A and B are shown apart, each in its own frame.
Chain A
Amino acid sequence: MNRVVITGLGVVAPNGIGVPAFTNAIKNGVSGIRYDEQLQQLQFSCQIAGKPEITDELKSKYFTDLELRGFNSTGILYGVIAGIEAWENAGLPIEKNTEPDWDTGTIFGTGTSGIDKFRESIYKIDDLQTRKLGSTVVAQTMNSGISAYLGGKLGLGNQVTSNSSACATGTEAILMAYDRISSGKAKRILAGSTSDSGPYIWAGFDALRVCSSRYNGTPNQGSRPMSATASGFVPGSGAGALVIESLESALERNATIYAEILGGSVNSGGQRGTGSMTAPNSLAVQRCITDSLKNSGISATEIDAVNGHLTATTKDSLEIENWAKALNRFENEFPYINSLKGMTGHCLSAAGSIESVAAVLQLHEGFIFGNTNCEDLHPEISSLISPSKVPLKTKNYNLNIIAKASFGFGDVNACIILKKFDNELL
């Protein structure tokens, strides 16, 4: 089994495009949630959203004019920007070689692809204009569009695929990359996930009445994970990317090592017991966490901090209960915990990767970002764990091990164990 490390980071988040802006945002509690006029016009109950703002100038840095002709896929836009940032951040070159890089691949997930392009095409098709669709509808709307775009831009010759497991997609992608590298099938995988923006991706959640609708006038207070006054999640979008690499290859290249992946676990509650299409089977959640510890060869007491899924729905208290039971750590014994979603909203299929980038930054730079909009911690949570474990302000803290989990529709779970990497211990 090869040891596996993280050597590159890239992010397109509602509260920061690019790693420097995002790091600054999470340290300072900068919210990326804004009032969304389109959602208001379409009479959504939730009229606020976390949407990355991409300038035309930034677009043309990552796409050719030809690629931008008829381009209408926010998910591919965010994923390409985050993916290439991670690649360059890892110090890897973009070469115009004739042979692909056989040792490097990408596992870049998404829930849907190019939903706006799909909508545009459907109107044309029904208007009997199929022959005028142009050549890029398939590339923009196939689920693997994002991995295909990245694979071509970077010349990747190992596995190039897109996974999909709802809101666990990003975390699962990292674990799939970990598996492939630890088993020696690849040296390097660009792992991550992306999620489209806009009403056509978010409407289904609004219809389920699970979105935050009481804060339309005060957008940056709308996403309230773990708060007593949480009223649902704020829809978001974006992309996160990580270059995952064998330790051997990272050391050979003298790359910056941001963290080591000790292991992790993915499972499903099978929509049995308390589980359903939309609700978690708590036994499966706890098992996913304990399996991650076993797989990583660490004990529950070694976890310094948890980066939760914690979306700001009524299920937050249950998630805390599951962590506490799985780790068998309660009250003051519970590790620090935070949720990025207070600042970004719930970035759906991109959530796991964006939040993993945040978790890795905490390990690498030694801080715990504060929980936004959680001044009134939910009493069900404070009855399980000490409120001091839910920091409201960012604090400098030398973390060694973080557990990051994501959970998704379909009763699916993913948990990764990340460890600070110390060069001197080699």
Chain B
Amino acid sequence: MNKDELIAKLKVIIKPYTSNIEAYENLSENTDFISDLNINSANLVDIVLDIEETFDILIDTTDMQRMLDVKTAVAIIQSKLDAK
């Protein structure tokens, strides 16, 4: 899976959690989940669960705590997929 495909899948997962439609439409690697997308920090837990299910991977707490923007999320998902 290339990076663009991965971001496209991530975008679908994130949709229900964001209230900032404009930032969501313009989502890029540099988008921050909390400051740009206004995602409630507690919902990051739900996003991680959705990512785990979609990609069939396991994300530990240390990785989860680093996953605050699209770039880091993509890197973590990619590394988990590569390790499979």
Interface set of A (CB-CB < 8 Å, partner B): 65-66, 69, 132, 134-136
Contact = CB atoms under 8 A, between A and B. Distances in A.
Looking at chain A's contact residues, the main secondary structure is loop
Nearest to B52: A132
A134 B17 contact: no
B16 A135 contact: no
B49 A132 contact: yes
Interface residues of B, number: 7
A134 B49 contact: yes
Looking at chain B's contact residues, the main secondary structure is helix
A136 to B, nearest CB: 8
Contacts of A69: 16, 46
B81 interface: no
Nearest to B44: A135
A421 B17 CA distance: 46
A220 B42 CA distance: 45
B36 to A, nearest CB: 17
15 contacts: A65-B16, A66-B16, A66-B17, A66-B43, A69-B16, A69-B46, A132-B49, A134-B45, A134-B46, A134-B49, A135-B42, A135-B43, A135-B45, A135-B46, A136-B42
A254 to B, nearest CB: 34
A136 B17 CA distance: 13
A147 B49 CA distance: 28
A152 B63 CA distance: 30
Interface in B45-72: 45-46, 49
Contacts of B43: 66, 135
A66 B17 CA distance: 6
A231 to B, nearest CB: 47
Contacts of B46: 69, 134-135
